[in-house]
Every structure is written in structure tokens, then in C-alpha cells.
Chains A and B, each alone.
Chain A
Amino acid sequence: MSAATVTHDHSATEHAHEHEHHEQSFLWKYIFSTDHKVIGIQYGITSMMFLLWGFFLMMVMRWSIAFPGKAMPIIGTILGDRWAPGGIVSPELYNMFGAMHGTIMVFLGVVPLGFAAFGNYVMPLQIGAVDMAFPKLNAWSYWLYLFGGCLMMVSFFLPTGAAQVGWTNYSPLATTAQIDVKNIFFTGQTQWLFAMIFIISSSLLGAVNFITTILNLRCKGMTWMRMSFFCWAMLVTGFLLLLAFPPLEVAAVMQLSDRIFGSSFFLPAGLVDGNRHLDIAGGGSPLLYQHLFWFLGHPEVYVLILPAIAIVAEVIPCNIRRPLWGHKTMIYAALVLGFLSFIVWAHHMYMTGMGPVVTSFFQITTVLISVPSVILLTCLMISLWGGSIRFNSAMLFACAFIPMFGIGGLTGLPLAFSTIDLFLHDTYYVIGHFHYVVAPGTIFGLFAGIYHWFPKITGRFMNEKLGRLHFWPSLIFMNLLFAPMMVQGMAGFHRRWYDGGKAFEETTKVSNWLSEGWAQFAGVFGVHVESNMLGLNALMSFAAWGLAISQVVFIINLFLSIKGGKKTTSDNPWHATTLEWATPTPPGHGNFLVEPTVYRDPYEYSVPGHKCDYQPQWLPEGEEPVDKLTHMH
């Protein structure tokens, strides 16, 4: 260790502190901890459970789409007679699962996993901080999130069931649904709003904490441009959450007022529900809700994708042993992306009858925002050029991320034009578009992150064989699941048909090579599938269940590796350059044994003129990395 690194000043009081921590009970150490790493893991576990639950909901929906009117084996009976009479998924159940699938995946699954879990665990380590700036607040955000999530879950067990009007929860439907009840508080729609208020508050606190930490707790030598892209992405994401979420909180409060106090923020006069005139004053505007929702909604999609891009940007340089191409460009692209994402929201509202001026404005900004997205993607792709790629599981997922996110982004472009969106809005095309971005995109990025940082968290590697067995089927099934959606969508399939379109005669009249080919293929196995577009439903559903099975491999891998994975022999097993690898494995409370100092840029791989092919950030000039790093156990 060089003399330039200031050793930690262990004053007497600090020793006393440390002592206290050692005597902490399990409860305080792992449950009510304020350590950013523990909170990160809490977030991780919780959000993965929500992801699983959200996935389960989707599988039930896919049954109803592929085999409408047929009883679902086993699960159908478990769901209960009210929701699945005779085991057949009812339209109500489909709506409920659809709404909750979206809500859970976006607000309880991906954002907490990508931003809160990875951000919490990795970001303070990467900037060389001892913890978050406000550790207690950090714990509060987790508990608020958990409470909101539980409220959401509880709503499944109300007599009305959970919310049923889509993850966007548009008024007036969201306001008038489930109001003929004894107590309006105990309805899924109302609980959705309460839960959202908690989740949003949690995100706001989290965002404040993240940004402050990045601004103020960077270690010595960690200048802005020496900061890894991951931390930059966290900074931008933090701002997106901080400034975009409040309007949705407002919308939630106003919708609550509409439901509970009978106001009409989002309700026009003379509204009729069923055959009943609602007893309201009217004068509100459903469009106002949409504006407030999408003001969050669009930045939110970048909250979903940025952490994933950022993880991939960490995994790639490390596994190709070359610097990230265009680190600075990527940072600026992310900043521009963050800025622009606040002014594109109404591209979700082309069909609401906005005038030509605003529509043009939002078309232009939407097309503009694809530029920084493309820049990010291109930088990642160019980075790969000429590298000697180490294809471990993390890298496989990171590599797959690039084309998958690419497809997702490219399919977004047509939607950006109002005239095309006229035909594609609310069809399966839109579903295909954003699922390409969030499922094989974001989720793959998150998987890459898990495989990559697992050795730091547990001191063991995940099983590479199982990793491959996880990756390849996932990739194939993802594409079988989402590509046909685009085809169906262009044929006009609406996104919310609980029977997959069976009720409409028109759906049986369109077919193309894909649907015909699939029917023939299935015929080989003796399965009869219609050769029209409707037949694709079964393909996608089988793909979805296949995808589920591939995730079982991952879960098994996770549990096996925690206890029985191959042990790491070094604190920096991937020979990476960023600061999180300078900590002991797993990092203790306070993270670094010696206060770290940063001497160089974050991705100094294969720098000419050096013995080693990596120059960690904490390595002083003129020294070469030793594998066994700066501390003894």
C-alpha cells in the first residue's frame, strides 16, 4: 500500500462504536440495519419475490389468452370460485391480474431491484463512501416500500379483489370501479392508491439519499469524470425519481379524494356508470390524470432502463478487458436523456385529441430522445470491438442486453409518430415494444448484475453451468414470447383482450408466415393450433411458461451458490477496476479497511505499458495490482 493512502484514524470513540455493532443481535444486524449493503440485500430479496409474484400473475393471464374458457389445471381451483369459477379464469380475474402484474413489475419489482437494491449495494462502494449519507433515512425508505408493497398484496384478499383497471389506473374508470361497496376503504382500487403513496414516498426519500451520497461522499480523488458510469446513471435516475414522482403522488391523492370524498377532479359532469347517474358535481378532467400520470410515466421507463444499462456498462469492460468506449459521451448522453425524458410524456396520449401543436412538439422530443439512447447502445457495442471477451454468465446476459434493448428502442420509434401510433396505440405492438425493453432488456441487465456482484456479496461464485442453462432458454423464450406480439399488434390485436381476441371473428381472418409456420410446427407434435393470428397466442403462452421454467434454474443456482458455490480466492475475482472490489469480501460495516483514494479513471483495462491488464482505481501511480489486495483477513 502506498504512503499516499491515508490509513483510517481509529479514534477511541470509533472503537467503542465498532464494539457496539459486534454485539448487535440478529434482528438489528439483518432486519433493522442501517447499513447500505444490508438494505440493498433486503431490497433485492423483497423485489425478487415481487417479481416472482408478478410473473405468476402473468402466467395465469397467458392461460386465459391461449385457452379462453378452458379450466386451468390445479391453479384454477386454488384461485377460488369467485375468481375462477370451475377453474376458468374470469374476465375480472384477468383484469385484476393484468393491472397488478404491471404495477408489481414496475413499481415493486424492477425499480426497487435496479435502482434501490443495486444502487444501495454498489454505489456507495464504487464512490468509496462508508455508507449512504443518511443511513436511517435509507432504512425508512425500505420499510415504507415494504409497507406499500404489503398493502398492495393485501388488496388481493379484499372482497372486491385488487385493482383492476390497468397499471396506469386511468380515471374515470379507476374512480368509479368498486364504489358500490359497504366501505370504500376496503377496495382494491383504494388500496392501490394508498400503496402507491407509500411507494412513491419511499422512492423520494431514496432519491434524496442517493443524490446526496453521490454529491458529497465521494472519496478522495474521485472526481466527477473518474466516477463509474453506474454511479452517474444512479445520479440521473435519482433525479428522475425525485422530480417526476411527485406529480403522480398528486394524482394519487386527487384520485383518492374522488373515491373517498366524492370530488370530481377527474370526472366530467353527467358521468353515467352502468345505468346510474353518478352523484357528482363534475367539471373535472380525465385528461388531467393522464398528464399527471405520464409526467411520471415516461421518466419512469428510464428509471427502469438506466440502472440496467449502467450494470451492463460495468460488466462489459471488465469482461472484455478494454476500457468502456466513450465513457464521457455516455455520461453526457445519460444527462441529456434524463432531461429530455421530462418533456416527451404526451407521446402516450396521442389518441386523446390533443391539438397539432403539442402533438408535433412531443413527436419531435420523442424522436430526439432516441438519439441519446442510441448513443448509449452504440458505445456499449463499440466497446466490444476487438476485446478478448470472457463469456461468463454475467457477460452473456450483458451481451444479450444490447440487441434486445436495441429492438425495444427501435420498435419505439414508429410509435413516436402520431399518425402511426393511431393504428398501433393500445395494441400488442406497444406491449411488445416495451416488454422488449424491460424484459430481455432491463431484466437481463439485472441478471448480469447479480452474476457479476454475487462473488462480492457472498464470497462465492454462482455456478457457470447453471448460468448458461439459465441464459440460453431465457433468451430464446423471451424472443418467442415478445416477437409475435409485434406481429399480432400490427394485425390490430388489442392489448386488453382477456380471451386473446377469440370473441372477434376478424381475428381469425388474418394470418401470415409466422402464424402458419407455427401451426405446422405444432402439428408435427400432434398439437392442433389455428393457422391464423389467434394461433400465435398459444406460442407465446408456451414461451412464457418455458421462460418460467428457465427461471427455476436461476433460483436453484442462487440458493445452491450461497452455501455451496465455488469460493473466491481474492477480493477482486474478476480483476475489475472499480472501488467496490477494493473492499473485503463481503464488505463489513464501514466498507473499507483503509480510507480509499482514487488515482485514475474507472475503466483502465489493458493500458499499454503495464504488466497487468487492469489498473484499479485505487492503485497509486507506478504500482501494479497484486491479486491479494490491500488487507488481510
Chain B
Amino acid sequence: MSHDHHDHDSPEYLKKQSKIIWIVGGILFVATGITVGVMDLDLGSRSMNIAFGMLIATIKASLVMLIFMHLKNERGLIYKFLSFTIVFVIGLFVLSYLGFIDPLHSNLISTK
């Protein structure tokens, strides 16, 4: 933010920013509508619906992160520790998932 500090504080920039926020808000509204609209589309199986729904949600979330949370012009430091966080979350997901369903076992290992 501070690299071109003056730009980011000027009224023109802020006015533009305000407009962008409204537009992104609008996009998010529409995307929410789409999410609801496609929930019962027959995509072959429920897993496909889930994947699709999560895809839209991820896109929405990215918009919120990049525009609303100004991550798009944020400093590298934040990216650094956010990326570690993401890696660890994925680690938590994948590794404990594998703890339940091991690729070398044909069936679900009894979790109960």
C-alpha cells in the first residue's frame, strides 16, 4: 500500500474504489443466485454438485479476499504467511483424509 501511497489516498482513487466495491458486491449477489440455481442441476452425481458449488464459493471467496480485503495490492509478507497457512490447512485435510481412507486399502478403513 505504501509503495504508491499518494495514489491510494487521493480522492479520485477512493471514488473509483468505492465504485469497484459496489460492482464486486453486485457480482457476489449474482454469484449467490447462481449457486442456488445450480444446486439441483443433475450433474451426474451429488459429488459433482458439491464440487461445482465449492468452485463457485471459491471464486466468490477469492473476490472477497482480493478486492474487499485488498489482498490484490497487499505486501508480500502477508502472502508469505497466508500461503503457509493454506499449506497447513491442506495438510490437515489431505493427511487426515488419508488416515481414514488409505489408497492401498480398497475399502474405507473402519473409523468407528
Could you pull out 15 A-B pairs where Cβ atoms are within 8 angstroms? Answer: A243-B85, A269-B112, A282-B112, A285-B111, A287-B111, A288-B111, A291-B92, A342-B88, A345-B95, A353-B109, A354-B109, A355-B98, A355-B101, A356-B104, A358-B102
Q: Does A461 contact B (CB under 8 A)?
A: no
Chain A, 583-616, contact with B by CB distance < 8 Å: what is the 0/1 string?
Answer: 0000000000000000000000000000000000
- Which residue on chain B has the smallest CB distance to residue A268? B112
Q: How far is the CB of B95 from chain A (nearest CB, A)?
A: 7
A288-330 vs B, CB cutoff 8 Å, 1 = contact: the mask equals: 1001000100000000000000000000000000000000000
Q: What distance in Å separates the Cβ of A295 from its nearest Cβ neighbour in chain B?
A: 6
Top 9 nearest A-B pairs (CB, nearest first) are A355-B102, A268-B112, A291-B96, A285-B111, A358-B98, A355-B105, A354-B99, A342-B88, A357-B102
A291: chain B residues at CB < 8 Å are 92, 96, 99
A binding-site residues for B, Cβ under 8 Å: 215, 239, 243, 247, 268-269, 282, 285-288, 291, 295, 339, 342-343, 345-346, 349, 352-358, 361-362
Task: Contacts A291-B96, A346-B95 given; indicate if A354 touches B88 (C-beta within 8 A).
Answer: no
Main secondary structure of the interface of B (DSSP, over half): helix
A235 to chain B, nearest CB (A): 11
Nearest A residue to B85 via CB reads A243
Bound-state Cα–Cα, A357 to B105, Å: 9
Mark B60-84 against chain A: 1 for CB-CB distance below 8 A, else 0.
0000000000000000010001001
Whether A354 contacts B102 in the complex (CB less than 8 A), given A343-B91, A343-B95, comes out as yes
Chain B residues within 8 Å of A247, by CB? 92
B102 touches A295 (CB 8 A): no
Whether B98 and A357, one on each chain, are in contact in the complex, defined by CB atoms closer than 8 angstroms, is yes
Closest B residue by C-beta to A216: B77
Contacts of A288 in B (CB 8 A): 96, 111
CA distance A152 to B92 in the complex (A): 29
Asked if B103 lies at the interface with its beta carbon under 8 angstroms from chain A, I say: yes
Q: Which chain B residue has the least Cβ–Cβ distance from A342? A: B88
B100 CB within 8 Å of chain A: yes
Given contacts A215-B77, A346-B99, 14 further A-B contacts (CB under 8 A): A287-B99, A287-B100, A288-B111, A291-B99, A295-B96, A346-B96, A354-B102, A354-B109, A355-B103, A355-B109, A357-B98, A358-B95, A361-B98, A362-B95
A239 partner residues in chain B, CB cutoff 8 A: 81, 84
